[in-house]
């Protein structure tokens, strides 16, 4: 599906109970999938440095669920005779960091003020403003359980893996399949039973319907065409004006340029990105206004 909702939709999915890899002893940092909202406030605060996540936000819900599942995993592994240190994931960013939010979900005024200083906020801005919360993202420390497992004799490592419920190398696709051991126990406790439920199928159908409405609405299509034409008049390459694609064209191109051919001067690179992002904002102003209710519907349907 081409429609992209960026960070917000990902976090909506996490808070709703999508499988997340966050804490095994393997190199892929596997963990049980967060699902239901956390009710263990004291454990949550202990695992997040004394501050409970703000569960009124998707990021906070995802963090609280990660804390709960990690605490349950530690309890399960303890019963199996192994030490396991809860290693919850951090997702929350400063409210001033709007870089990962779909532009339709942020006001024109807020985006303009942000882009005038940070551009898209994902490349050069982090180099020029390395400690600025408006561009900083959560940094998760190394998983302590890797070292704990590595220190065990080979036979104990195998027993550890069996107790945990998965081999060291576990792909994201495998993590969504039913597992044994503590993974299975924690997933049951969190309400993740594996397989596709009727609610999953219903959500997928709702997502397809929301995407189709967005991508075929006559007003959105017309605004997307105008958006692309405006960018082309300014000299930018726009391969597609498809809704859900056109609004990310320049930001993705800027990120690709930063990754593959960064400017020698970070400040000059940021200045160029600022101009691009403001051109993008002006050309897309009418489109984003028309797209907003559709993007909100896509977010609620879990499309990302």
Task: Yes or no: say if 103 and 247 are a contact pair by the CB < 8 Å rule.
Answer: yes
Q: Name which of 302, 303, 299 is nearest 104 in CA terms.
A: 299
pLDDT tens readout for residues 70-129: 999 999 999 999 999 999 998 878 889 999 889 999 999 999 999 999 999 999 999 999
Backbone angles phi and psi of 271, in degrees to 5: -60, -40
Instruction: Give the E-state strand segments of 158-261 in sequence order.
Output: none
User: Mean pLDDT, to the nearest integer, of 280-285?
Assistant: 98
Task: Yes or no: say if 301 and 210 are a contact pair by the CB < 8 Å rule.
Answer: yes
Question: Would you state the pLDDT for residue 62?
Answer: 85
Q: Is the dihedral of CA 282, 273, 121, 9 positive or negative?
A: positive
Task: Yes or no: say if 191 and 197 are a contact pair by the CB < 8 Å rule.
Answer: no
Distances (CA, A) of 203 to 65, 121, 173, 191, 301: 20, 32, 19, 17, 6
pLDDT band of 138, cuts 50, 70, 90: confident
Show me where the domains of the chain are located. Answer: 18-92+138-190, 103-133+198-300
User: Mean pLDDT, to the nearest integer, of 208-231?
Assistant: 97
pLDDT surpassing 50 at residue 38: no
Question: Would you state the pLDDT for residue 35?
Answer: 38
Q: For residue 257, give every residue at least 6 positions away whose Cβ sits within 8 Å of its Cβ, in sequence order, or none.
A: none
Q: What is the mean pLDDT of the chain?
A: 81
Q: Flag whether the pTM goes above 0.75.
A: no
């Amino acid at each position: 599906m081409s429609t992209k909702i960026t960070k917000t939709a990902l976090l909506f999915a996490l808070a709703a109970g999508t499988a997340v890899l966050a804490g095994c002893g393997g190199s892929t940092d596997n963990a049980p999938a967060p699902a239901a909202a956390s009710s263990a406030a004291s454990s949550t605060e202990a695992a997040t440095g004394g501050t409970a996540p703000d569960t009124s936000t998707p990021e906070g819900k995802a963090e609280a669920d990660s804390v709960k599942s990690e605490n349950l995993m530690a309890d399960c592994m303890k019963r199996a005779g192994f030490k396991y240190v809860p290693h919850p994931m951090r997702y929350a960013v400063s409210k001033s960091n709007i870089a990962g939010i779909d532009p339709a979900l942020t006001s024109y005024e807020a985006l303009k003020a942000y882009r005038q200083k940070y551009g898209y906020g994902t490349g050069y801005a982090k180099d020029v403003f390395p400690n600025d919360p408006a561009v900083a993202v959560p940094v998760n420390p190394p998983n302590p359980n890797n070292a704990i497992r590595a220190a065990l004799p080979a036979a104990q490592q195998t027993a550890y893996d069996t107790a945990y419920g998965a081999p060291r190398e576990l792909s994201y696709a495998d993590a969504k399949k039913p597992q044994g051991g503590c993974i299975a126990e924690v997933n049951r406790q969190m309400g993740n039973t594996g397989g596709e439920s009727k609610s999953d199928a219903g959500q997928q159908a709702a997502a397809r319907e929301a995407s189709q409405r967005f991508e075929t609405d006559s007003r959105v299509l017309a605004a997307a065409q105008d958006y692309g034409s405006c960018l082309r008049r300014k000299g930018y390459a726009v391969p597609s004006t498809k809704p859900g694609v056109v609004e990310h064209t320049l930001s993705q191109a800027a990120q690709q340029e930063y990754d593959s051919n960064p400017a020698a001067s970070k400040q000059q690179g940021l200045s160029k990105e600022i101009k691009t992002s403001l051109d993008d904002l002006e050309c897309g102003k009418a489109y984003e206004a028309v797209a907003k209710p559709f993007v909100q519907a896509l977010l609620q349907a879990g499309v990302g």
